Amino acid sequence: MVYRGKPSKGCYSCRQRKIKCDQRQEGCSQCLRMGRQCPGYRNQLDLAFENESEKIEGKFRAKASAKKRRANTVAPRERAPKDTTPMNTVSVVRKGATAVPPGTCTTTPTTSTALTPSIEELGSCFFYSNFCSGVTFAKDPAQATGGGMSTCELDEHLLVSMQAVGLASLSNFTKNPTLPQQATKKYLAAIGLINKALQSPQQAKKDSTLLAVMAMGIFETVHGSDKQSLLAWKNHVSGAVALVKLRGHAQLNTLIGRRMFLQATASLLVCCLKQSTGVPASFLDLLDDAAVHPFVDTTTPIWRLRQVMVAFATLKARAANRSSTTPAQIVHEALELDARALAAIAQFPPDWACDRVVTDNDPHVVFFGYCLIYKDFWTAQIATAARAFRLLLQDTVRQTLLAGMAAEPPAFTGPAYAELLHSTTLTLYHLQHDLVACFPQHIGYAPGGEGLDPAAGAATTWHGPSDSPWPSFKNLFAGPVDKRLEWVNLPVIRCAGSNLVLWAMFLCGSLDVCSHDLRCWLARTLRWTGHVVGINQATALADILETDARGGPAEAR
């Protein structure tokens, strides 16, 4: 505020005409003589000071802009004096510049200007660094051919989709307040470009279009934090499945086509199991074609486990209908599918086994007093998926038994069904405990070292080469750890591969066998994961657990 001196007490008309005002209460005589109403007089207290904030702010903005322009201006080159000492000549001739004669060396003062990447470059680079595994992108369609790695033509709609996901992930990690808005702009632009590409039958069948739609689903996982984002994610999965059907059998001839087909299958199974709907018949035909494809090995335990999941989705759809099957048939078929799943799991390679580490430390991270440590991230993901699937199977058996026993007349009687209910409940507890024990390694917790404290709302130590959720796949365990675990190189949680474990934790908390304390812990841990690690969909899952009708609002443990 700047003092402006003693202000005039006259009315507005007298001040404009710069004449003396007698300041009469009913109106000045000057206005009365002119035959007009006097506009009145100003409050002198309001005129003692004048607000100069906008003017000062403008000065600082102008000064900052001038300083920025000077920093971006490259200093002019200065010609150095001639050196009479013979030396090798290096001359640079530019258009409009005078060539330096031989025998003359010119020196240029070094400038400290740094190359700043654009928003688009930040998004695409972050996406490629953290979400791509063995994928090469090419702008030339002729270069997008199958090889040792998956290759994909980099069309505009795919590039913008990558930028949207990359910016959303980067904003969650850096907490930059401007990046979420930039990510949303890229997301909306990508939606428009994808819709434009879908209008062309040729563009709709391209790998880049399907990959762009899948990237939109990842965006909802990373950026969305409410139930609406879960619905949007489901819609993107439905769009990807529709494109897979449109692409037909030809997509199985390329490596990236097969990889995207299997990825779409996994996402479709999640939606089908969640909504108790069967896998579409046209998609089942594609799975049958893939089973006889020479490049697909159907003897692997992972493929066999996927086939069991497809059969279970069909069973859940029939169970939801209730008119096409009986409770006894549901229990019998579910137990058969569980036996098939156990047979596939038994064929896992020996090096996929985990180490069980018992510890009383860090109960806020290790809930049941032990954690399971796997050799690598891929193995941990497969084990988590297998346990979560068996959890669904066993819960289906248990819920069917309970509903049948409570029916009039009871559908299940006798000690055999009571024993089956007891064993199924014990299996559910065992699977639930093991799933919770897998979670610490996914968030980078190392037994024996400093851990992560969800209760404190922040990470105390990231066990990696840098303070980042995206380090390399090496040196996870920085502190003193059991010697048996030195070979472990599981990375700290990454946005690209951490969605499955979040849904597994949500599944554990949604079961009626889940205790109130465990549900509270799961909700708090999911919320911490969404806030600190940067996967916002975890926040939406935590909200659902906290308002679960069976457990009531979760309370702090």
Return the HEC string of 490-510: CCCCCHHHCHHHHHHHHHHHH
In a domain, 90, yes or no: no
Q: Which pLDDT score, from 0 to 100, does residue 191 have?
A: 93
In a domain, 59, yes or no: no
Q: Which amino acid is at 120?
A: E
Specify burial of residue 436 (Cβ count, 10 A radius: 0-12, 13-18, 19+).
buried
Q: Which pLDDT score, from 0 to 100, does residue 386 have?
A: 92
In a domain, 110, yes or no: no
Q: Which of 267, 294, 321 is the C-terminal boundary of a domain? A: 294
| pTM of the predicted protein model | 0.66
Q: Which amino acid is at 387?
A: R
Same domain, 346 and 252: no
Backbone φ and ψ for 135, nearest 5 degrees, come out as: -125, 135
Domain, as residue range, for 148: 125-294
In a domain, 315, yes or no: yes
Same domain, 132 and 205: yes
Same domain, 35 and 183: no
Same domain, 310 and 261: no
Q: Which residues have C-beta within 8 Å of that of residue 350, sequence separation ≥ 6?
A: none
| Per-run averaged pLDDT (10 residues), the chain, 557 residues | 70 87 86 86 70 74 76 47 39 37 44 70 81 51 42 81 89 84 92 93 90 89 78 88 89 83 86 84 84 80 90 88 82 94 93 87 84 83 90 93 90 91 95 90 63 42 35 32 33 50 87 89 85 77 75 43
Query: Distance between CA atoms of 210 and 387, rounded to whole angstroms?
Result: 29
The answer to whether the CB of 175 falls within 8 A of the CB of 458 is: no
Same domain, 35 and 172: no
Query: Distance between CA atoms of 439 and 525, rounded to whole angstroms?
Result: 10
Same domain, 275 and 309: no
The answer to whether the CB of 11 falls within 8 A of the CB of 22 is: no
Total domain count, the chain: 3
- Six-digit token string for 405: 């026993």
Same domain, 314 and 459: yes
In a domain, 406, yes or no: yes
Query: Distance between CA atoms of 399 and 201, rounded to whole angstroms?
Result: 46
The answer to whether the CB of 548 falls within 8 A of the CB of 509 is: yes
In a domain, 189, yes or no: yes
Q: Which pLDDT score, from 0 to 100, does residue 8 have?
A: 83
Same domain, 431 and 311: yes
Query: Distance between CA atoms of 462 and 451, rounded to whole angstroms?
Result: 8
In a domain, 523, yes or no: yes
C-beta neighbour count of 477 within 10 angstroms: 21
Same domain, 28 and 47: yes
Same domain, 346 and 396: yes
CATH number of the domain where residue 31 is located: 4.10.240
Q: Which of 273, 294, 315 is the C-terminal boundary of a domain? A: 294
In a domain, 89, yes or no: no
Same domain, 310 and 284: no
Among 334, 340, 525, 313, smallest CA distance to 437 is for 525
Same domain, 484 and 353: yes
Q: Which pLDDT score, from 0 to 100, does residue 195 have?
A: 93
Q: Which of 294, 325, 341 is the C-terminal boundary of a domain? A: 294
